[in-house]
Amino acid sequence: GKLEAPGAGEPGTKAKKGRRSRTVFTELQLMGLEKRFEKQKYLSTPDRIDLAESLGLSQLQVKTWYQNRRMKWKKIVLQGGGLESPTKPKGRPKKNSIPTSEQLTEQERAKEAEKTVEAPGEASDRSHED
Model's pTM, two decimal places? 0.46
Q: pLDDT: is 86 or 127 the higher one?
A: 127
The Cα–Cα gap between 102 and 19 comes to: 45
Q: Where does the pLDDT of residue 57 fall: very low under 50, low under 70, confident under 90, or very high at 90 and above?
A: very high
Domain with residue 79: its CATH number is 1.10.10.60
Torsion angle of the four alpha carbons 93, 95, 97, 100, in this order, in degrees rounded to the nearest 10: 130
- The residues near 91 (Cβ < 8 Å, ≥ 6 apart) are 81, 82
What are 79-103's pLDDT values in tens digits? 876 554 445 455 555 555 555 555 5
Number of domains in the chain: 2
Do 101 and 77 sit in the same domain of this protein? Answer: no
Q: Which domain holds residue 53?
A: 16-84
